[in-house]
């Protein structure tokens, strides 16, 4: 996550680290940058756009895997004469879970095409995680970008989510089916002080019950 006014590109360039494989989406797929990564010995796996031209392709002979979703594994020059890579790069084409073709450029020659495809797909889990944070924790942007500020905001949002999820799960059984709603709408209505009367009654019952049990426990232990 980032401040809405900051473009991902310049920030992404700062993430290069020779101790890690840089895995990027299409927004970072600049052809000249691929040559630069090779010169700097920075391993990368970057998705390339559909309109990027593959020049003078040469197929790599790899052992075929029966369950593989890899369609093609080649080396080639990337781009048109006006903007073309000076070096040949490996391009692996594979299908995602929906059958869409994904093309990634890489300088990883010691991994199989399947391993390269899996490396790129691993970043989808990170994308799903951040999308979940934005949708469920109500964190569309970060107030500050220092490490402590980010952690504090995320921890506060996560604690709020856990409380709301607990209250939602325990209250749902007190609400008739036709008046039930998804968790995200429940959270929105609480945030805007617009919670339906059926849910207000249900949450009140839950809170009163647990306050009573808490007090009873204190009395017994005392």
pLDDT in tens, 100-114: 999 999 999 999 999
Burial class (CB in 10 A: 0-12, 13-18, 19+), 84: middle
Partnered with residue 93 across adjacent β-strands are 72, 103
Residue 1: pLDDT band (50, 70, 90) is very low
Q: Is the pTM of this model over 0.85?
A: no
Question: Assign residue 163 a region: left if phi > 0, alpha if psi is -120 to 50, beta otherwise?
Answer: alpha
Partnered with residue 58 across adjacent β-strands are 75
CB 7 within 8 A of CB 28: no
């Amino acid at each position: 996550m980032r401040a809405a006014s900051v473009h991902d590109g310049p920030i992404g360039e700062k993430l290069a680290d020779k101790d890690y494989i840089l895995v990027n989406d299409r927004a970072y797929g600049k052809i000249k940058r691929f040559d630069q990564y090779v010169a700097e010995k920075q391993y990368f796996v970057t998705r390339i756009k559909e309109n990027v031209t593959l020049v003078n392709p040469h197929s790599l002979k790899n052992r075929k895997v029966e369950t593989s979703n890899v369609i093609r594994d080649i080396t080639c020059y990337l781009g048109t004469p006006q903007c073309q890579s000076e070096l040949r790069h490996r391009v692996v084409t594979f299908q995602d879970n929906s059958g869409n073709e994904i093309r990634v450029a890489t300088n990883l020659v010691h991994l199989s095409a399947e391993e390269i495809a899996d490396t790129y797909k691993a970043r989808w889990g990170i994308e799903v995680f951040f999308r979940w944070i934005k949708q469920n924790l109500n964190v569309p942007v970060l107030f500050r970008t220092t490490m402590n500020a980010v952690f504090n905001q995320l921890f506060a949002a996560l604690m709020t989510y856990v409380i709301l999820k607990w209250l939602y799960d325990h209250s749902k059984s007190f609400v008739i089916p036709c008046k039930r709603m998804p968790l995200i709408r429940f959270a929105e209505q609480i945030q805007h002080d617009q919670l339906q009367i059926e849910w207000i009654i249900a949450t009140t019952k839950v809170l009163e019950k647990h306050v009573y049990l808490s007090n009873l426990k204190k009395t017994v232990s005392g």
